[in-house]
Amino acid sequence: MTATDIEHATGPIVSPPAALPLVKGRPITGVLPELRGDPMGLFTRTANQYGGLVRLNLGTSEAWLVSEPEILKSILQEKRRNFVKSDYLNDLHIIIGDGVFMAEGDAWKDARHVVQKSFHTARMNGFVDQMTETTGEMLERWRAKQRRGEPIEVVQETMRLTLDVILRTMFSRRLDEAHQVLYETVSWLLRDLERRFWRLVPIPPWAPVPSNRQRAQAIKVLDEFVYEIIEERRRSPGSKDDLLERLITIYEEEGGASRDMLRNEALTFIIAGQDTTASALTWMLCELSRHPELARQYKAEIDRVTQGRTPKIDDLDQFEFGHRFFKETLRLNPPAWTFSRMPLVDDELAGHPIKARTTVIMPIFALHRRADLWDNPEGFDPDRFTEENEQKRHRFAYIPFGGGPRACIGARFSTLENLAVTAMILQNHRLELVPGYKVEHEPMFIQRPRGGLRMRLCDA
């Protein structure tokens, strides 16, 4: 992009505080080619060059790119009733329905209240034990691979692990052979979601095309799994102590829930929680191998706190350095690298009028790399997250889990999972990137390393 690509908007803006930049891009297509080719680069360059509030020409429409912490705060907090989830999530909506992730207004408020209660901190203990149990089984498989001298494919391993953890904590099931089909189905649905995300012309959900038929079939597989478990719980209530049981109990205390409401929340946890946590874990392992000195510091903390035991929740809370390392990993590699909203009716942002239904892109990846917000933004430095340094920063300058009342419900769950898993891995192994691997971000719906991530296992 060159300086000539940019023009200052005139006309409809009556008395703006300052002219709002418009990135025009190419004739006819605007910035669409760059958006499809290198969206992370486009957003990061634009935010760094033209500031935190910029218009992007998408050819036949326009989107606003917002990476100014104060404006993000107003969208996600003060103005959140008008700035709703945008049409870009329609395909996700088809899978997870009107659960807490997609709902708006009073329906969202009710769902959020119940789901949040089911994730209550006091109940996380048991979940951590299931996370470490699942990790122990993964490490058994890794040892066999190490003996055979095989590298591990980290993306696949973390995807399996995080789905297994969700099945155990949510449904008291395991990712055994009988449930292998779930892994394949969820993986297929996530890839399908990504293919649709980048299409210039969306496929209408009613179109009789093979991809819609395949998607309906995949959703049916998940529905059958979830509905069967819901029926089982209804026949013998209180038989399990997992997230689903908690949801059912809390809903009952609040007047009950239909089977579809439970189904929507259950699928939301699977879809919103698996890929994101796997991506975070993958990048954590990648950053640990890229920064051996910092990895040794984390390992020393793990050894000091756990004395070689399997970590418990209280141990994880004492990983002060581990938490900072994790936060810095999510700054440079936020799994949800961008998210969006649209105003229901005409509104304004920082004094600039915005038309109803304009897409507002909130590029977390670019926000976390703004040179005016972060010193040496590309450098990896967990010290950015000491308490003192965190207090100096705007709260909305760092939002890997979103912000405001709709911030991620699973933030603590996935943070604990990340620390538990990495602690157990480091107690046993050192991971080295297979030489020759160029690691770069692939901007899928949830970003991950392009072409996977192969690592070699060494003894700790």
Q: Structure tokens of 89?
A: 């999530």
**Binder among 24, 36, 112, 123 for ligand HEM (CB under 6 A):** 112
Task: State CA 94 to chain mean position distance.
Answer: 19
100 binds ligand HEM (CB under 6 A): yes
Whole-angstrom distance, CA of residue 105 vs CA of residue 97:
15
**Binder among 400, 424, 443, 455 for ligand HEM (CB under 6 A):** 400
39 binds ligand HEM (CB under 6 A): no
Q: Which stretch binds ligand HEM (CB under 6 A): 126-134, 138-146, 343-351, 396-404?
A: 396-404
Q: Structure tokens of 113?
A: 């209240």
Burial of 129 (0-12, 13-18, 19+ CB in 10 A): middle
408 binds ligand HEM (CB under 6 A): yes
Residues 6+ apart with CB under 8 A from 390: 384
* Closest by Cα among 394, 458, 99, 133 to 269: 99
Q: How many residues bind ligand HEM (CB under 6 A)?
A: 23
359 binds ligand HEM (CB under 6 A): no
**Binder among 46, 57, 358, 414 for ligand HEM (CB under 6 A):** 414
**Binder among 50, 225, 269, 325 for ligand HEM (CB under 6 A):** 269
154 binds ligand HEM (CB under 6 A): no
Contact (Cβ atoms closer than 8 angstroms) between residue 72 and residue 403: yes
Burial of 123 (0-12, 13-18, 19+ CB in 10 A): middle
Which residues does residue 339 pair with via DSSP β-bridges, in sequence order?
A: 362
Footprint of ligand HEM on residues 62-91 (CB under 6 A)? Answer: 85
**Binder among 272, 302, 316, 453 for ligand HEM (CB under 6 A):** 272
159 binds ligand HEM (CB under 6 A): no
Smallest gap from Cβ 145 to ligand HEM, in A, equals: 25
Whole-angstrom distance, CA of residue 235 vs CA of residue 231:
6
322 binds ligand HEM (CB under 6 A): no
Q: Which stretch binds ligand HEM (CB under 6 A): 10-18, 126-134, 272-280, 386-394?
A: 272-280
Other beta carbons less than 10 A from residue 87's beta carbon:
13
Whole-angstrom distance, CA of residue 430 vs CA of residue 296:
10
Burial of 210 (0-12, 13-18, 19+ CB in 10 A): exposed
Whole-angstrom distance, CA of residue 187 vs CA of residue 190:
5
Whole-angstrom distance, CA of residue 127 vs CA of residue 418:
12
Whole-angstrom distance, CA of residue 188 vs CA of residue 182:
10
**Binder among 283, 298, 401, 445 for ligand HEM (CB under 6 A):** 401
Q: Which stretch binds ligand HEM (CB under 6 A): 133-141, 180-188, 334-342, 422-430?
A: 334-342
Smallest gap from Cβ 412 to ligand HEM, in A, equals: 9
Query: Per-residue contact track with ligand HEM, 163 to 202, x per CB under 6 A?
Result: ----------------------------------------
Residues 6+ apart with CB under 8 A from 311: 128, 132, 302, 305, 419, 420, 423, 424
Q: Which stretch binds ligand HEM (CB under 6 A): 10-18, 230-238, 346-354, 398-406?
A: 398-406
**Binder among 21, 25, 311, 335 for ligand HEM (CB under 6 A):** 335
Contact (Cβ atoms closer than 8 angstroms) between residue 392 and residue 323: no
Amino acid at 283: W
Q: What's the Cα-to-Cα distance from 453 to each of 59, 203, 329, rounded to whole Å?
A: 36, 31, 16
Smallest gap from Cβ 359 to ligand HEM, in A, equals: 13
**Binder among 83, 101, 251, 283 for ligand HEM (CB under 6 A):** 101
Smallest gap from Cβ 99 to ligand HEM, in A, equals: 7
Q: What is the DSSP letter of 77?
A: I
Whole-angstrom distance, CA of residue 109 vs CA of residue 80:
12
261 binds ligand HEM (CB under 6 A): no
**Binder among 20, 66, 336, 420 for ligand HEM (CB under 6 A):** 336
Instruction: Compare residues 46 and 418 and give the one whose CB is closer to ligand HEM.
Output: 418
Q: Are strands 62-66 and 53-57 parallel, antiparallel or unpaired?
A: antiparallel
Amino acid at 151: P
Instruction: Compare residues 20 and 342 and give the one whose CB is closer to ligand HEM.
Output: 342
**Binder among 69, 410, 443, 449 for ligand HEM (CB under 6 A):** 410
Q: Are strands 83-84 and 62-66 parallel, antiparallel or unpaired?
A: unpaired
Smallest gap from Cβ 402 to ligand HEM, in A, equals: 3
Smallest gap from Cβ 352 to ligand HEM, in A, equals: 22
Q: Which stretch binds ligand HEM (CB under 6 A): 232-240, 333-341, 386-394, 419-427?
A: 333-341
| Interacting residues toward ligand HEM by CB under 6 A | 85, 100-101, 112, 268-269, 272-273, 276-277, 280, 335-336, 339, 400-402, 406, 408-410, 413-414
